[in-house]
Chains A and B, each alone.
Chain A
Amino acid sequence: MPAEMRKRSFVITAQSRVDIVLKYSRDLVVALCVVMVFTTVILLLAGAPPLAAYYHILKGSLGSWMRFGHVIKTWVPLTLCSCGLLYTFRIGLWNIGVEGQVMMGAIFTTFVLRLGIGSQMPMIYLMGSFCAGIAGGAVWALLAGYLKTRGGIHEIFGGLGLNFVAQAVILWLIFGPWKRVGIASMSGTELFPRELWLPYIFHIRLSVAALVLAIIAIIVTALMLRYTKIGLYLKALGSNVNAAHMFDLNPHGYMLLAMIFAGGFAGLAGSVQVSGVYHRLIPSISSNYGYLALLVVMLANYSVWLSPAVAFFFACLNVGSIQLPMVLQVDSSLSGVIQGALVLAALAVHGWRLRTQRVEVEWTHE
């Protein structure tokens, strides 16, 4: 029989958002099981006990309040970056430059904090440094955005290039103008005085301010995307930029706006890294959180509610696997293997599910 499309036309209705999220979560769990099997095989091949490895990851992340504090320290910047990426993904942009935006935010933050050393009102400088961080990330993102809208350079290449530039700027600052007195070292700039640290609960080293920031970011993003015109326009342009003329939408303007949002959140993540985690500027200040956030958002199927959950899972993996080299002589990069494999597995499961559903839209005669 000739290979013709069998037409089954029926009206697809948008299910409620909760329904979609639940359905996708189910796919995610399936993917997780697949990945667990995969990593178990790898561990066995490496001669390490799989169950013990998982147990230590779990214990290493949630086993004590101190460790939980570490998880949150990882979760906050990761979630901030993820929230920002939701805007750019919505309009269909691949904001690979998020990593550089984190770095630029960190640079601007460090600059303002340095001004505040020895000041009587450190809080002002602290808050100012957050604003600076947001601005830094936003400006860097805007740069990649302009390269795209004015120069036609795809945001992946523009962003990637700018990542390298940002990294180079950090190195120059650490070994040049901002170097420690006497020693120019890879361990970064001079540690900031205590009053310029983000306030935290001493025993568990958990910064409530950072936690609150992340939660606010999630809520703001959820509200923006769902209830505001900006969110609707981003979605429309991400769906079909060729129909923008029908609704008098300017695609370039909104692309730049999305980049500003993404850069702003990423810059804020950089601020938190400087003032809340490392208390100085180090070469790897972004800790690859930008790139990891891309994985998080993709794995969460671009959902604003699933992203923090997936980020939490990734944070646990990252923190927990630090134990592995000490306890089991397994390299801690196992967490990276799990994360990467998880994204691939989730994409595969999701894709397989879409194919088996066989939803076909009515064919129209050309």
Chain B
Amino acid sequence: MRIELRDIHKHYGAVKANNGITLVVEPGTIHGILGENGAGKSTLMKVLSGYIGKTSGAIVVNDTVEDYRTPAEASRLGVGMLYQEPLDFPPLSVLDNFVVGQAAGIKNKQAVFREKFDTLVRHFNFSLKPDDVTRRLTVGERQQLEILRLLSLGIEVLILDEPTTGITAEQKESLFRALKQLAAEGKSVILVSHKLQDAEALCDTVTVLRGGEVTGSMKAPYDANVLLEMMFGTPPASPSRSAVEYGTTVLSMHNVAGPGGRTGLSNCTVTLRRGEMVGLAGLEGSGQGVFLRLAGGITKPTAGTMELSGRQVQGNDLHSFKKAGVVFLPTSRLEEGLMPGMTITEHFALRDNDTGFLVRWQEAEETAQTKIRKFRVMGTPISWVESLSGGNQQRLLLSLLSKESMLLLLEQPTRGLDVESANWVWWHLNKYCLRRTTVVFSSSDLEEITTVADRILVFFEGRIVMDVKKEETNVNELSRAIAGKF
């Protein structure tokens, strides 16, 4: 089945997630879509699989323009998607999950489906047993199950979204074998990934996206450098930062491991010093979030030791972290940072450290007004925080920090912000560094990290794979490390 995307646009207000994307997927090929986080790959695939509607453009299936609105309609046409987190029902058995969405009629077709399942399992040489409980399967096995289910629904175009995260090397081999087999049988496979080596090993054609647009495409064999340049672009000359003298150790971790995200964090040994501005690079979910939460005392480490200003700390004692001046600002501001339904004034009242039984409302309102003015938050003291825009929520979160913090841990501080707000955030954080506060932030924008940070830690699959000063590296080296080639 031949799929053509013609000039696909997907706009969210002023944000152009997909800005005129055109590409063709031929039957019997494996087509890779590469790009870093935020490039628009996931959005494009969601449009193609019917999960979200497009703003404009056309999807052409075998020379007929199709207009489908739901994943169910898409799958009837033969387009199916395998999500990063397989959408199955853990309490049900493998066979039940296989049958989901297909069973029709009163007569028990169990035997029919069982045979269908066995045929497919043998065809791809998977090791799935129909009566196992799905909850006990590994991610790789659940993926295999999902592929079988989609195939049994009659899918001709299989889209895979970042399939190789969280599976073992053997399972990856097995998956790649299966995909190659599918292509050989005339089906089309679209692989969305940020991992260069996967695309190189598997795909016949690769299209690269950046900033919502197609920056290039290539047929096998590939030149990694060309692909990297298409993915990340050539960096501007980074402005030099005046040499800052780093002070005493603020936080040190030895072989720390912790849970969370897709892969957790393992074997982490890092030392942070006063006044450093550290950028955490890497694809989203590679362990940066876990690192920040471990350092902030939010998550308890499952291994290793941590020292805060020379004193050993137990992972789950949030209070002592806070007293030492460690602050963590999450990326999901409304879900983990602010209280919906409460006003700005109430947030400042919450922050009041004065030991007293009564709330000092007058003071809280005055503080709110002062901070709103100083941080230029577009809101009033009696605004509910959920009504503020993302940029203003970020300004509010920053205004809630005290000046005397020792360590600031920020998860994606400029996410969703316009350029002006983002620049303001960095100007504000720079002031903290000058005051000898250590600032650690994660970002999926490599350009931002190389412009702002003194020191860069690259995360890949739950480990820190690179720890360099900015002067000692360049964007190409960093992007290779991020993509897994180091």
Binding site for B on A (CB under 8 A): 2-4, 7, 9-14, 227-233, 235-236, 239-240, 242-243, 245-250, 361-365
Give the residue of B298, B339, B350, B389 whose beta carbon is less than 8 angstroms from that of A362: B389
A11 touches B383 (CB 8 A): yes
**Using Cβ atoms and an 8 Å threshold, which residues of chain A touch B378?**
11
Report the separation of the CA atoms of residues A304 and B388 in the bound assembly, to the nearest whole angstrom.
Answer: 29
Report the separation of the CA atoms of residues A250 and B317 in the bound assembly, to the nearest whole angstrom.
Answer: 11
B357 touches A242 (CB 8 A): no
**Using Cβ atoms and an 8 Å threshold, which residues of chain A touch B379?**
11
Report the separation of the CA atoms of residues A11 and B392 in the bound assembly, to the nearest whole angstrom.
Answer: 11
B54 touches A2 (CB 8 A): yes
Q: How far is the CB of B393 from chain A (nearest CB, A)?
A: 9
Chain B, 416-429, contact with A by CB distance < 8 Å: what is the 0/1 string? 10000000000000
A240 touches B390 (CB 8 A): no
**Using Cβ atoms and an 8 Å threshold, which residues of chain B touch A12?**
383-384, 386-387
B53 touches A2 (CB 8 A): yes
A232 touches B349 (CB 8 A): yes
**Using Cβ atoms and an 8 Å threshold, which residues of chain B touch A228?**
357-359
A227 touches B358 (CB 8 A): yes
**Using Cβ atoms and an 8 Å threshold, which residues of chain A touch B342?**
235-236, 239
Q: How far is the CB of B365 from chain A (nearest CB, A)?
A: 12
**Using Cβ atoms and an 8 Å threshold, which residues of chain A touch B69?**
2-3
Chain B, 295-309, contact with A by CB distance < 8 Å: what is the 0/1 string? 010100000000000
**Using Cβ atoms and an 8 Å threshold, which residues of chain B touch A240?**
334-336, 338-340
320-347 of chain B: CB within 8 A of chain A: 322, 328-329, 334-343, 346
Known: A239-B341, A246-B400. A365 touches B17 (CB 8 A): yes
**Using Cβ atoms and an 8 Å threshold, which residues of chain B touch A3?**
53, 69
Report the separation of the CA atoms of residues A7 and B341 in the bound assembly, to the nearest whole angstrom.
Answer: 20
Report the separation of the CA atoms of residues A361 and B359 in the bound assembly, to the nearest whole angstrom.
Answer: 29
Report the separation of the CA atoms of residues A243 and B358 in the bound assembly, to the nearest whole angstrom.
Answer: 22
Give the residue of B298, B383, B390 whose beta carbon is less than 8 angstroms from that of A13: B383
Give the 5 A-B CB pairs with smallest separation, nearest first: A2-B53, A239-B339, A12-B387, A364-B390, A248-B322
Q: How far is the CB of A216 from chain B (nearest CB, A)?
A: 18
A232 touches B384 (CB 8 A): no
Binding site for A on B (CB under 8 A): 12-13, 15, 17, 53-55, 69, 296, 298, 318-319, 322, 328-329, 334-343, 346, 349-351, 356-359, 361, 378-380, 382-384, 386-390, 397, 400, 416
Report the separation of the CA atoms of residues A227 and B356 in the bound assembly, to the nearest whole angstrom.
Answer: 11
A7 touches B13 (CB 8 A): yes
B382 touches A247 (CB 8 A): no
**CB nearest to B342 among chain A residues:** A239
A232 touches B335 (CB 8 A): no
Which one of A3, A362, A365 has the highest number of Cβ atoms from chain B below 10 Å of its Cβ?
A: A365
A10 touches B358 (CB 8 A): no
Give the residue of B53, B296, B382 whose beta carbon is less than 8 angstroms from that of A4: B53
15 contacts between A and B (CB under 8 A): A2-B69, A14-B343, A228-B358, A229-B356, A232-B359, A233-B350, A235-B339, A235-B342, A239-B340, A243-B336, A245-B298, A245-B318, A365-B15, A365-B17, A365-B416
Report the separation of the CA atoms of residues A250 and B322 in the bound assembly, to the nearest whole angstrom.
Answer: 12
B351 touches A247 (CB 8 A): yes
Report the separation of the CA atoms of residues A227 and B359 in the bound assembly, to the nearest whole angstrom.
Answer: 6
**Using Cβ atoms and an 8 Å threshold, which residues of chain B touch A245?**
296, 298, 318, 328
**Using Cβ atoms and an 8 Å threshold, which residues of chain A touch B386?**
12, 361
**Using Cβ atoms and an 8 Å threshold, which residues of chain A touch B319?**
248, 250
Apart from A12-B383, A228-B358, A243-B336: 16 A-B pairs, beta carbons within 8 A = A4-B53, A12-B386, A13-B384, A14-B383, A229-B356, A229-B358, A230-B357, A232-B346, A236-B339, A239-B340, A239-B341, A243-B337, A246-B329, A248-B319, A362-B390, A365-B12
**Using Cβ atoms and an 8 Å threshold, which residues of chain A touch B54?**
2
Q: How far is the CB of B314 from chain A (nearest CB, A)?
A: 16
A11 touches B338 (CB 8 A): no
